[in-house]
C-alpha cells in the first residue's frame, strides 16, 4: 500500500543525452498508472528508474513516503514483470517464484503457502515442477506475474508485459491483469506503446513524448480533450484527423485568437451529410481506401479543394488524407465522392505548433 510520487525526475546519460526531462507524476494508493508513448519516449527508462535499475540524475522518487533515490532495487519493496519475462531458465516454476522470498530469508513453510496461493490464482498449480522452457508464452507470462505477486510488494511495475503474446492472448491477459490488480489493490505502474492497452487498463494515463509528459489524466478525459496534437494523434485508433486552419478560420471559431492554428476531428465525429453545420466543418472527399472492421468501416478519403470549408467558409486547404468512420452496414465504393461534416462542438483546436489546446 503506497503512493508513488515522481518530483521533477530527470535522467541525463553520461554522453549528455537527456532521456527524461523533468517528469512529475503522482500515483495514488492502489491506482493503476499507465505510461504510454512511442518507442524512445523514455517511458521504459522512467519505469526502470522507479525500479532502481537506472540511476536518477535529478529530482526525487518517493515510494510510500520514503525517498528511494539511493535505495537498492531489492529494498524498494517493488516487483517487476519484464517484457521477456526474465524467468530463471534452470529453475522450476516453483523455484522461480520462491527465489526472491528465499533470498529474503523467509521460512520455507510461508514460501510454500504463498507460492501455492499464487499458483492457484494464476492456474499454474499443475505445472509448478516444470521448467520455463516447457511452458507456453502465456504460461510464462503467468509465472512472471506469480513471481511478482508472491512478494506482496508495495508497487507492481510492468514493462510491456504483453507485447510478446499473440493478439488474442494479449486481450485475455490484459483483462486478467486488470482484475488481479483490482483484487490485490496494489499500486501499479505499467509501460506500453499500445494505446488501446493504455486506455483500457489505466486509472491514470501518462502520455509521454521525447522524455517529457505531454498529458496526465483519466483516459477518457485525455481522449475527449487531448492537450496537444501529439496526444490527439497518439491516443485513438485510427488517429484523429489534423488539418491546418487559416487565421481567419481560427478566429471565426474562437474570438480573440491571433494566428493560424490546427483543427482536429476524430474519425467517428464525422457524419456523411449534405447539410451545412453552423460553425462546423464540411469536407468534400474522394474515397481512396476502405477498411471494413465489421461493426464499422473506416473510409480514407482525399480532400477536394472546391468542396471543403471550415466554419462554412470555402477555404483553400491543401489536399490531404482524412479518415472517416461510417457504420458497418453502409457500403462505400472507392472513387465515390462524399461530403463529411462535423459539428462545432466536436472540433479540437490547437495553436499552429500543436503544443497548446485552444478553447473548451
Closest distance of CB 100 from other proteins, Å: 3
Task: Supply the minimum distance, in Å, between the C-beta of residue 53 and other proteins.
Answer: 5
* Distance between CA atoms of residues 97 and 147, nearest Å: 4
Our CB check for other proteins shows the closer of 108 and 353 to be: 108
Residue with cell 459539428: 343
Name the minimum Å distance from CB 156 to other proteins: 11
Residues at the contact surface with other proteins, assessed by CB under 8 A: 51-53, 72-74, 78-80, 82-90, 99-100, 103-104, 133, 147
* Runs of H (alpha helix) within 264-341: none
Minimum CB–partner distance for residue 84 and other proteins (Å): 6
Q: Which residue, 135 or 250, is less far from other proteins as judged by CB?
A: 135
The nearest distance, CB 154 to other proteins, in angstroms, is: 13
Site of grid cell 532502481 = 52
- Cβ proximity to other proteins: between 145 and 202 the closer is 145
- Min separation Cβ 313 and other proteins, Å: 56
Q: Can you state the angle between helices 137-150 and 108-121, rounded to 10 degrees?
A: 140
The smaller minimum CB distance to other proteins, of residues 53 and 220, is found at 53
Q: Smallest distance from the beta carbon of 144 to other proteins, in angstroms?
A: 9
Q: Which residues contact 262 (CB under 8 A, 6 or more apart)?
A: 229, 242, 243, 244, 245, 349, 350, 351, 352, 354
3-state secondary structure of 358: strand
Q: Which is nearer to other proteins, 91 or 287 (CB)?
A: 91
Q: Which long-range contacts (CB under 8 A, 24 or more apart) does 226-230 make?
A: 226/264, 226/348, 226/357, 227/356, 227/357, 228/350, 228/354, 228/355, 228/356, 228/357, 229/262, 229/264, 229/350, 229/354, 229/355, 230/354
Of 106 and 358, which has the nearer Cβ to other proteins? 106
Q: What distance in Å separates the CA atoms of residue 35 and residue 42, rounded to the nearest whole number? A: 9
Distance in angstroms (rounded) separating the CA atoms of residues 48 and 273: 50
Report the C-alpha gap between 259 and 102 in whole angstroms: 64
**Closer CB to other proteins, 56 or 87, in the complex:** 87
CB of 92 to other proteins, least distance (A): 12
Q: Contact, 42 vs 11, CB < 8 A?
A: yes
Query: Taking Cα atoms as reference points, which of 4, 6, 300 lies closest to residue 153?
Result: 4
Count of alpha carbons within 13 angstroms of residue 56, beta-carbon side:
25
Q: How does DSSP classify residue 342?
A: E
- Taking the least distance from each CB to other proteins, the nearer of 13 and 24 is 13
Cβ closest to other proteins, residue 22 vs residue 73:
73
**Least CB distance from residue 280 to other proteins, whole Å?**
51
Set of cell numbers at residue 278: 453552423
Amino acid at each position: 500500500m503506497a503512493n508513488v510520487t515522481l518530483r521533477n525526475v530527470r535522467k541525463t546519460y553520461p554522453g549528455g543525452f537527456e532521456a527524461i526531462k523533468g517528469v512529475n507524476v503522482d500515483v495514488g494508493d492502489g491506482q493503476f498508472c499507465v505510461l504510454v508513448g512511442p518507442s524512445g519516449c523514455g517511458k521504459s527508462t522512467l519505469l526502470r528508474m522507479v525500479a532502481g535499475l537506472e540511476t536518477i540524475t535529478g529530482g526525487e522518487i518517493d515510494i510510500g513516503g520514503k525517498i528511494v533515490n539511493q535505495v537498492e532495487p531489492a529494498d524498494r519493496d517493488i516487483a517487476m514483470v519484464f517484457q521477456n519475462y526474465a524467468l530463471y531458465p534452470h529453475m522450476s516454476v516453483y523455484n522461480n517464484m520462491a527465489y526472491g522470498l528465499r533470498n529474503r530469508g523467509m521460512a520455507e513453510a510461508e514460501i510454500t503457502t504463498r507460492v501455492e496461493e499464487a499458483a492457484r490464482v494464476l492456474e499454474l498449480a499443475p505445472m509448478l515442477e516444470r521448467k520455463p522452457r516447457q511452458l507456453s508464452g502465456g504460461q510464462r507470462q503467468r509465472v512472471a506475474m506469480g513471481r511478482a505477486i508472491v512478494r506482496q510488494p508495495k508497487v507492481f511495475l510492468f514493462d510491456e508485459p504483453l507485447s510478446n503474446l499473440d493478439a488474442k492472448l494479449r486481450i485475455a491477459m490484459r483483462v486478467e491483469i486488470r482484475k488481479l490488480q483490482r483484487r490485490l489493490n496494489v499500486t501499479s505502474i505499467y509501460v506500453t506503446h499500445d494505446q488501446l492497452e493504455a486506455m483500457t487498463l489505466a486509472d491514470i494515463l501518462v502520455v509521454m513524448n521525447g522524455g517529457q509528459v505531454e498529458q496526465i489524466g483519466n483516459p477518457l478525459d485525455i481522449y475527449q480533450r487531448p492537450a496537444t496534437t501529439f496526444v490527439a494523434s497518439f491516443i485513438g485508433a485510427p488517429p484523429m484527423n489534423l488539418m491546418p486552419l487559416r487565421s481567419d478560420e481560427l478566429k471565426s471559431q474562437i474570438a480573440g485568437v491571433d494566428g493560424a492554428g490546427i483543427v482536429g476531428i476524430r474519425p467517428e465525429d464525422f457524419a456523411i451529410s449534405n447539410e451545412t453545420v453552423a460553425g462546423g466543418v464540411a469536407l468534400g472527399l474522394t474515397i481512396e481506401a476502405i477498411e471494413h472492421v465489421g461493426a464499422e468501416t473506416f473510409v480514407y478519403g482525399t480532400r477536394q479543394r472546391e468542396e471543403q470549408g471550415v466554419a462554412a467558409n470555402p477555404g483553400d486547404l491543401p489536399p490531404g488524407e482524412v479518415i472517416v468512420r461510417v457504420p458497418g452496414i453502409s457500403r462505400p465504393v472507392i472513387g465515390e465522392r462524399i461530403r463529411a461534416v462535423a459539428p462545432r462542438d466536436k472540433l479540437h483546436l490547437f495553436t499552429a505548433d500543436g503544443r497548446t489546446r485552444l478553447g473548451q
